[in-house]
Amino acid sequence: MVRIGITGHSNLTDATAELVAGELREILKEQRDGLVGVTCLARGADQVFARVVLELGGTLEVVLPAADYRERKVKPNNAAEFDSLVANASVHTLPFTESDRDAYMAASEHVLSIVDRMIAVWDGGPSGGHGGTADVVEAARDRGLDVAVVWPEDAARI
């Protein structure tokens, strides 16, 4: 069993999401037997990763940052996708009451503590706030985790 975590931008364009899905399929297909994907299930990179893991026959573990995550952070136009992915996953919710930057970083730290390696859908730029992609990549590398960075040519953020 190989546990692979994800961190990445939530604001991918639709075209970028498709490019990222293709690269994730290539990376993850080698791990099909016993693949466990671990994600905080944010919109964008996390959800693209989750769909690919399930498509390849892997299992999905979701770490939610706080009890209010779905009601506070999941937008109406993403609720059906979020709910579908949660329904196909084992879910662990951290003991935060509010979804905020501290809860996001704590959720990412939890992911880092239970995975064998990480994938970062990351343009290489700085985090837009505490707990952003660059912070998680730095924390993963500080722990000695292998981090595969995915940012396809022509990728863009909204």
pLDDT digits (tens, 9 = 90+) for 73-112: 999 999 999 999 999 999 999 999 999 999 999 999 999 9
**Could you tell me if residue 135 is inside a domain?**
yes
Domain boundaries, position 121: 2-150
Contact 139, 109 (CB under 8 A): yes
Q: What does the angle CA 131 – CA 5 – CA 110 come to, to the nearest 5 degrees?
A: 55
Residue 147 has pLDDT above 80, yes or no: yes
**Could you tell me if residue 156 is inside a domain?**
no
H or E element, residue 60 = strand 59-64
Compute the CA torsion angle 85, 90, 96, 101 (nearest 10 deg): -50
pLDDT digits (tens, 9 = 90+) for 18-54: 999 999 999 999 887 899 999 999 999 999 999 999 9
**Could you tell me if residue 42 is inside a domain?**
yes
Number of structural domains in the chain? 1
**Could you tell me if residue 69 is inside a domain?**
yes
Q: How confident is the model at residue 129 (pLDDT cuts 50, 70, 90)?
A: confident
**Could you tell me if residue 25 is inside a domain?**
yes
CATH number, domain with residue 7: 3.40.50.450
**Could you tell me if residue 17 is inside a domain?**
yes
Query: Whole-structure pTM over 0.85, yes or no?
Result: yes
Token pair of 143 as six digits: 């722990």
**Could you tell me if residue 155 is inside a domain?**
no
**Could you tell me if residue 157 is inside a domain?**
no
